[in-house]
Amino acid sequence: GVVLYVLLMLGINFFAKKNELTNKGSFTVFLFAFITAVLPNSLINFSILLSNVFILLAIQNVLHLRNERQIKAKIFNAAMCVAVASLAYFWSISFIIMVYIGILYFAPKDYRNWLIPILGLGIVFLFVTCYTLYVEDSFFGFERYIDPVSFSFENYLIKDQIFSVGILCICLFFFLSVYLITFRRKAANTKPLLRIVIAYLMVSIIVAVIAPFKNTSELFFITIPLALIGTTYFELKFSSLAKEINMWVCVLIPFTLVLL
């Protein structure tokens, strides 16, 4: 779990700078550490951490579509990453929407591009079926793969979990508001990438909402796009004292969980 978390931390830093989503500072990593710290249950959920590693790889391939090189290979890789992520946590399959959004923005004219994600998903499930046939002498059973949908949020009413959800909702509302306000000032060529980050956040929220069992670990999907979005606020030009106070608040908030 620790190794996966460190991989995600390094991955989000590389992801943000490689795609020029943020400046060269370390605010994205700082915000990722802060947001995940208020979701302690997610840090011990190996399946969700593993799923997020592959989703981040998928989004990276989606953003690389803008280079207009090896488009079909990148679409295929992104779909395969989503499929592998869904083996760890089923509702990660929802992120296949991101692949189609990438195609819509960067490569919509070739009809074959719209079929490649289905092929990517199919290849992974073919390999999984071969594995289960070899190891378990049975076909891959979709009944044990597909998770139900649940809209029960009773677990969030537990004292420490309602605090985590509350902090996350405040950050979500505040950072997204700032992001949308500053969006129109961004260069036109970067706006498709920024829209993909917003879509990433929206799909992550959907995955968290429909999760079959809720203990705040499913909210981890929101942390990566929210950290990217929240970086916009800290990169604004305003009082360095105010910025430092905000950072200290972010540092101290996770420690209040210990007192609950």
Q: Global pTM?
A: 0.90
Mean pLDDT of the chain: 85
User: What distance in Å separates the CA atoms of residue 71 and residue 107, rounded to the nearest whole number?
Assistant: 8
- Above 70 in pLDDT, residue 153? yes
Residue with token string 């979500």: 172
Say what the alpha-carbon torsion angle 170, 174, 176, 177 is, to the nearest 10 degrees: 140
Give CA–CA dist 120/123, Å, rounded: 5
Q: Report the alpha-carbon distance of residue 184 to residue 59 in Å, rounded.
A: 23
Residue keyed to tokens 């879509």: 199
| 114-135 tens-digit pLDDT | 999 999 998 988 888 888 888 7
* Residue spans of alpha helices (H) in the chain: 2-18, 27-37, 46-63, 71-88, 96-106, 116-135, 142-145, 159-183, 191-210, 220-234, 240-252, 256-259
Which tokens go with 49? 């951490």
Q: Report the chain's terminal Cα–Cα distance, integer Å.
A: 25
Select from 61, 120, 115 the least CA-distant residue to 86: 120
Q: How far apart are CA 218 and CA 161, in angstroms?
A: 12
CA distances from 92 to 71, 187, 203 (A): 23, 31, 9
pLDDT of residue 245: 81
* 40-74 pLDDT per residue, tens: 888 888 899 999 999 999 999 998 888 878 889 99
In tens, the pLDDT along 195-254 reads: 899 999 999 999 999 998 888 889 999 999 999 988 888 877 777 777 778 888 887 887
